[in-house]
Structure formats: C-alpha cells, structure tokens
A and B are shown apart, each in its own frame.
Chain A
Amino acid sequence: MSDHNGQVSATPITERVQQLTQLLAPFKKEKPLPEQPKMGFFTDTSLCIGCKACEIACKQWNQLPATTPEWTGTSYDNTQSLGATTWRHVQFIEQIERRIPHVNASDEKVLKLPLFEMDTPVPQMGMDLSALPELAGTPTGTALPFFSTDRWLMRSDVCKHCANAPCQEACPTGAIIHTEFDTVYVQQDICNGCGYCVVACPFDVIARDSEGDGQAHKCTLCYDRLKDGMKPACAKACPTDSIQFGEVEQLKRDAQERLGFLQERGLTDARLYGADDKILEGGLNSFFLLLDEPETYNLPSNPARPSNHVLPTSLGVIVTAAVMGLIGTFFFKQE
C-alpha cells in the first residue's frame, strides 16, 4: 500500500478512505485539544516506604472496586499485579542475608570482659562543625550506609505512559490516545474491549475488566484532575515523595540529580529506568529510579515492541474489529 518513501498510490485508496471515513465518522472528532506540557510520573523507589497509600488513593479517586482479598504470602504484596481495577501496585522484594547466629559451648555463660575494650576510639561531643552550613551536609564520623545492608525493596508500579505506546499502536478503534498532556489514555466511550492493547503492552499494565464493563482499563494519570491542574491522586497522597508528578522534562532532570545524590552515597546499583529514549524508542513518561536491576522488579531491560508496522496492521484490524467488536460484544455478553 505504500512504498518506502511514504508515497501512496492514489486512486483505489481514495475511495476506500472516503468510505472508511464515513464509517468511522462517529469516532472522528474535531481537532485535538491544545497541546499542554508533557506530564508524567517519576517514581523514586529510594523513597518508597511501601505504605500503599498510592494504591488506595487511586482506588478512592477513581472509585475502583477492591480486588478479591487473597493473602499471597509473597512478602507484603497481596495486590500481586496491576490490572483493570488496580492502577497502582506496590511491589515488595526481600533481599535479606541469612544470618544464623554462631553458637558454641564456651558461650554458655555470661561473658565477663573488661568494659569498653574496643578498638574504636571514643567519639567526642562538640566537634568543630562551624564550617557546616546551617543544617546541611552529611555529618562526619560514623559512616552508616544509606540503607540498612539488608534490603526490602519497594516500588510502586504504574502505567509507564510510553512516549510510543504499544497499546495505543495496537488499538484498532482509536480509543487509546495520547492526551494533550502526552499521557496515554483509554477513551471509555470508544473502547470496545477487543483486548489487542492487553497483549501489546510489554509491562502487563493494561487489562480488560472481565468482571465489569469488559473494556480495557489502566492508569489514566488522573486525566480528569489534570484538566483542572490538579496532581494525580497517587502522587498527591504519597507521603514520602516517592511518586513525583510534573513536567516530564523537569522530572527527568530531577531524576538525574537524585541518581547522582544516591550514587554519591554509595548506591552504585541505583539506576533510572525509562528516563532516556532507549526503552521503546522514545522512553517512558512515567519512569523509575530503581535500586537494582530492572529484572529484580520484573521490569524487562529491553521491552519488545509487538509490531513495527502498526498502521498496516491496524488497517486490517479496523475492519476485523468493526465486525468482531459486534460479534465479540454479543458473544461475551452471552457468556
């Protein structure tokens, strides 16, 4: 249908386009809304305390039903995954060294050692700290790591709002858009629940609400709140600023700075995920600071894009979807 220069052979297509345009008239709206600065999330796992306020704030604002309670025993993670009604999900990863105390017979009494027979010199108060600016800087002296050596990693997961979103490219109905804030949004008045986006998402974010309306759902980045200049509910609730919301470019600068701060404090494994353009050829508008390899957090280092020829595929899909959508809706309703 097209050559490599993007030229189109006119005649047969034009008619078809007209037909299709008519067919799709209900979906075609006026011009896009005026462009706004790109908005996104920076989720900094070095600040997460695993409180799950984000999960509840999201449920509350979006009035999403609770998932069926199921105790998983997987650390403190009972939500398990993102889903059609769970748009924030906090992961818990225990990295605790096994320490079995050494016991031997000679310990079987209270040790009687001379007091304070230790190599470490006694620290003194009133060290000269005049050089320090007011309440700033890391104190000298006892070197403690930034985190306890045993780690309990926590991360609030969410839709990545990919700059080039596979779900959007797979969507045959035009339901999934990049909004004026460049966030990825599923328009519920258009989505027909075909589920192509579900398989397209390399992060298992988007899902069909099979117990509800059958349509695809995911984090909206609180599109409604953004319209009034309000913070998304999760970012607003997060007590420790682990979830930061703002203009993507600024967030990315902040993230670089934060990474440097942590690396200076010895967190050499800390890294950003999705802050550059590498992931999905454009990066993520909702990106992360991780304290370990992406795989530790079940994040693909190099997520695959399901299709590199989205439009042709879409074209075929449009027709199929129009038909299948009707049948599908009917069929699933029967079920």
Chain B
Amino acid sequence: MHEPANRSVRALPMLSNLMEIGSRVQPFSKESREKAPRIRDAKVVHSVCPYCAVGCGLNVYVKNGKVIDIEGNPDSFINHGTLCPKGSATFQYTVNASRTTQVLYRAPYSDHWEVKSSEWALDQIAQRVKKTRDETFVERLDDGRVINQTQGIASLGGATLDIEENYLIKKLFNAGLGIVSIENQARI
C-alpha cells in the first residue's frame, strides 16, 4: 500500500491502523468498492457528430431504451475519441427537457399554439402544398418555352439533414412538384 504520511505514523500508529482515519490509509466505503462506469454493459451505437463538418465519430451508449452517454469514438481516425465542447454536449442536445416533442399548429392570426397529431398536420400540409402549387404553377413562359415550375413554394434546409433526406427533398419538391427555390445552409 502507499507509504503513509510520516506525520500520521509518528502520531498514532495503532489508532490509525485501527480506524484508518486521518492517514493515507482510509477505509473504502461501499460506494467506492462498488463503483463502476455506468456504460458497463450498455449497447454502443456508432454515430457522427452533428455540429461542424470535421465528422467526428460518436459512440452513443444505450441502456433500457435510453441514451445514457455520448462520447467520441476512439477508433475513428478523425477524432481518436476526442471531441470539442459542442460534440461533448451532444448528449444534452438530444436528451433535453426543452425539446419540443409535439406537433404544434398556429392558425392564421392566432396568438397561441395548438397541439395536433402528426397525421392531421401531414394531411393539412399536403393540402396546402397542393393548393399553393395548383395556384402558382407555370407551365410555359410567354414565348412558349416549357418551364413547369412553381415559385409559390420554397424550401430552406439545414446542414444536419442527411444525404438521404436531401435526396428525397430534391426529388419530391423539384422533380415531383416543380418547386425551384430549394435551398440549403450551404448557400449561407
């Protein structure tokens, strides 16, 4: 064991041995003996940091259907387990009581939100899209050139959208609906 501090030895060896108090040799409490990292036996899910574009690997630890810890992935050649403060805070970004987790609806001129179901909202949005598109769709320019576009609807996406999400946005909005103003944070 560690060399006890001289002063303690000088003072009261018997007492300190018996009580292990006030010396380098202290009793280990129950908690100390049982201590274990909470991610022992947790499921590890490989993810990528959602902040800047360096692309640090994340290990997301899941237990009982809950995220309990998010850390850098030590195997990643990009970050070797390290993270910046934002990346280190990804846990609080995702597990946060301030998150809005209900569909909210604000009617024209209303002064409050109403909680709605996803199904209701999707139906309503689809109807709005159709109505606006039908009203604003332009098939041809005056000189007869076909353009098949609408400028009545626009879209602006962030850069935490996945490749797959961007792909479907462009496909549906552009190739399907004829929306031309499809933009992204990449422009900004």
Contacts and interface: CB of A to CB of B under 8 A. Distances in A.
6 contacts: A30-B28, A51-B84, A57-B83, A61-B69, A172-B21, A227-B37
B20 A35 contact: no
B99 interface: no
Contact of B71 (A1, A33, A236): A236
B32 A177 contact: yes
Contacts, number: 172
Contacts of B33: 29, 33
A29 B27 contact: yes
A236 B32 contact: no
B71 A178 contact: no
Nearest to B5: A164
Q: How large is the interface on A (under 10, 10 to 19, 20 to 34, 35 or more residues)?
A: 35 or more
Interface stretch (B87-95, B123-131, B169-177): B87-95
B31 A233 contact: no
B7 A311 contact: yes
Given A172-B22, A174-B20, A236-B71, 6 more contacts: A52-B85, A164-B5, A176-B26, A230-B37, A236-B81, A237-B82
A35 B8 CA distance: 20
A53 B19 contact: no
Nearest to A174: B21
> How many interface residues does chain B have, given as a range?
35 or more
Contacts of A303: none
A74 B87 CA distance: 25
A227 B69 contact: no
Given A2-B10, A24-B19, A177 B82 contact: no
Contact of A32 (B1, B8, B10, B38): B1
A311 B2 contact: no
B12 A311 contact: yes
B186 to A, nearest CB: 25
B83 A239 contact: yes
Interface in A52-105: 52-53, 55-57, 59-61
Interface of A: 1-2, 4, 6, 8, 13, 17, 20-21, 24, 27-30, 32-33, 35, 51-53, 55-57, 59-61, 164, 168-169, 171-179, 182, 185, 187-190, 223-225, 227-228, 230-231, 233, 236-239, 282, 308-312, 314-315, 318
Contacts of A310: 5, 7-8, 11, 22
A182 B2 CA distance: 8
B18 A21 contact: yes
A228 B38 CA distance: 10
A13 B84 contact: no
Contacts of A174: 19-22, 26-27
A308 B2 contact: no
Contact of A237 (B25, B69, B83): B83
A237 B72 contact: yes
Contacts of A224: 35-38
Nearest to B8: A311
Nearest to A189: B31
| 8 interchain residue pairs of minimum CB distance | A314-B22, A177-B26, A311-B11, A56-B88, A187-B29, A56-B85, A29-B27, A189-B31
A6 B21 contact: no
B16 interface: yes
B13 interface: yes
Which of A35, A175, A182, A187 has the most CB atoms of chain B within a 10 A radius of its CB?
A187
B22 A56 contact: no
Contacts of B74: 236
Contacts of A172: 21-22
Nearest to A90: B85
B12 to A, nearest CB: 6
B35 A8 contact: no
A318 B88 contact: no
Contacts of A315: 12, 15, 22
A169 B32 contact: no
Interface in B118-151: none
Most chain A beta carbons < 10 A, residue from B13, B18, B22, B24: B22
